[in-house]
Structure 1
Amino acid sequence: MVRPRRTRPRARARLLLARRLGALGRRRRLPPPARRGAGQSAPGRIHRGVGRPRRRRPPRPAGTVSSAHRRQPRARPTPRPRGAHLRHRRTRVRRTARDRHRARPPRARRRARGVRTPVNRRPWSRRWKGAVRTLHVLTSTFALLLTFAFGASGFLLHHADWFGLDERTVEERSEAFPPRLLEADADRLAVVDFLRARCGVAGLLDSFEAEADGFRIRFVRPGEETEAVLDRHSATVSLRVERRSLLAALGDLHRGEGSGFLGGLLLDATSLSLLVLSATGLALWLTLPRRRRSGLVALALGVGLVAVALLACWP
């Protein structure tokens, strides 16, 4: 079964009208022939075969019903994916370069094997923007927890009275101490090792002071302070341990008090990450023309706030 041509009713009517008008305009009278043979038209008869021949459709088989009166839905073209023409062009260029490489002799092919031919490489102005964006994203994901802890601890230190960071629990006890380590010329390293091994003292050594009747040693770590007083006459050590909450320990980490090598490494990583984020964010802002006005306003507010704070705190 041959389906009729899919056209809209109005367009089909216009097409038929245009064909009829064109056929009528091109009709002409033929001169009377001298002799009329078989198959010739009579004199003065309009010849309807002159003009554009009509399109004849093949005959339908018996028993079929015409469906030209029915309006069939028009098939919509499938949407082309975004960037498909660029992808096809890139593939075509790669195939051309590959065929050109295969057409070379084996020696030239071996020479060119280590050289990478740039195919559809982006300009440098777009490549450095992509590199800066990638660096900004990777740095922000790496330093997410560090910067969050740094900002939260700074807020806690500024409002210490809101969260009770000054509350402490004090523990005092006395223990015996060997007299040979209480002499004036005793080894200080041996004294500190004995306190850490036998008395359970933890933290970094903050101070070691020699007094008339003994020594006064202070150990610190985030959220805890320990003070040891060694008496030469009684051969004892008096320990005073002050402990604070976890929020206070975060504040000590923010200031770097008693954090040690690991705490200093975390602070360095946080500081460098903030510097990289600031620089890459400024570069990305410069690449967005539509955001320059709002960015300038935000930048002016930040600079003004810092300037006012410095002028207020300057002696």
Structure 2
Amino acid sequence: MTDAAAPARPPKALNARRSFWLKQLHQWHWISAAVSLIGLLLFAATGITLNHAAQIPAEPVTVERTATLPAPLLERLEAFPAETTDPVPDAVARWAADAFKVRIAGRPTETTADEVYVALPEPGGDGWLTIDRATGEALRERTTRGWVAWLNDLHKGRNTGRVWYWFIDVFAAACVVFALTGFGLTWLHARQRPSTWPLLGLGLLIPAVIALLFIH
């Protein structure tokens, strides 16, 4: 005799579909977690340091170096336009790389009749290089503000170059996959975890209330 109170079992097709999605979501969740783990730690930590930038002391350190452009290269600059933003000739860029360990090839300049100026911003610091067009005297100045400022600029993508620019895009995409697959897993397990939807609602409600009431 069949027990009328026995719970009905879900159809096999429904179980198979649920198992398929659980397997897929688990796989993409751990893959995206592995790809984005270090980036998440970095961006979470620098979110705190950026939020407290005024309370974190930073002692700027400025270093100046000088050198003299060889006469043959100085002659190359004589043919350079009196006012231009064109990069310096390749030979001059190679000399700067040897003398100052800087890469100015392809960088725009602020050239006048008196000097060539190349801005050299970098994460966590700033710098520049000038070359006197009359004497060939070159001055390289570099200012750094410590590793916290360097990490903060990585967070913002400030003066970090194209490779880091693409890394942020790939990292952000991995985070989106991580979040969406996490939501999918939460959805599938919500029936066994009654606190799921209240907690998700709280996660939405808290920033919404702060934004509406405390951001002016």
Pairwise TM-score range, normalised by the shorter structure: 0.7 to 0.9
Partner of 2:180: 279
CA distance in 1 between counterparts of 2:121 and 2:46 reads: 19
Give 3-state SS (helix, strand or coil) of 2:64's partner: strand
Structure exhibiting the larger radius of gyration computed from Cα positions: 1
Instruction: Note the 1:10-21 alignment, pairs <5 A.
Output: none
1:292 to 180, 197, 211: 197
Q: Which residue identity does 2:165 align to in structure 1? A: G
Residues 204 and 219 of structure 1 are in contact (CA less than 8 Å); yes or no, is this contact kept in structure 2? no
Partner of 2:36: 143
Partner of 1:301: 206
Are 1:212 and 2:113 matched, yes or no?
yes
Residues 67 and 99 of structure 2 are in contact (CA less than 8 Å); yes or no, is this contact kept in structure 1? no
| Residue segments in structure 1 that go unaligned for 5+ positions in a row | 1-119
Residues 226 and 240 of structure 1 are in contact (CA less than 8 Å); yes or no, is this contact kept in structure 2? yes
Instruction: Note the 1:1-315 alignment, pairs <5 A.
Output: 122-165=15-58, 167-178=59-70, 179-185=74-80, 188-190=88-90, 191-202=92-103, 207-287=108-188, 288-289=190-191, 290=194, 291-306=196-211, 312=216
Q: Which residue identity does 2:65 align to in structure 1? A: R
TM-score normalised by the chain length of structure 2? 0.75
CA distance in 1 between counterparts of 2:104 and 2:170 reads: 23
Structure 1 residues 303, 285: CA separation in 2 closer, same or farther (over 3 Å shift)? farther
CA distance in 2 between counterparts of 1:307 and 1:282 reads: 25
Structure 1 residues 153, 206: CA separation in 2 closer, same or farther (over 3 Å shift)? farther
CA distance in 1 between counterparts of 2:104 and 2:14 reads: 56
Structure having the higher helix fraction is 2
TM-score normalised by the chain length of structure 1? 0.53
Structure 1 residues 160, 189: CA separation in 2 closer, same or farther (over 3 Å shift)? farther
Structure 1 residues 239, 208: CA separation in 2 closer, same or farther (over 3 Å shift)? same
Shift of 1:228: 0.8
CA RMSD of aligned residues (A): 2.7
Runs of 4+ residues deviating >4 angstroms: 202-207, 306-309
Shift of 1:152: 1.1
What fraction of aligned residue pairs are identical, expressed as a percent? 20
| Residue segments in structure 2 that go unaligned for 5+ positions in a row | 1-12, 82-86
CA distance in 1 between counterparts of 2:77 and 2:154 reads: 34
Shift of 1:307: 5.5
Q: Which residue identity does 2:205 align to in structure 1? A: A
CA distance in 2 between counterparts of 1:281 and 1:245 reads: 37
| Number of positions where the alignment pairs a residue of Structure 1 with one of Structure 2 | 191
Structure 1 residues 133, 228: CA separation in 2 closer, same or farther (over 3 Å shift)? same
Structure 1 residues 189, 159: CA separation in 2 closer, same or farther (over 3 Å shift)? farther
Name the stretch that deviates more: 140-149 or 286-295: 286-295
Give 3-state SS (helix, strand or coil) of 1:220's partner: coil
Shift of 1:163: 2.0
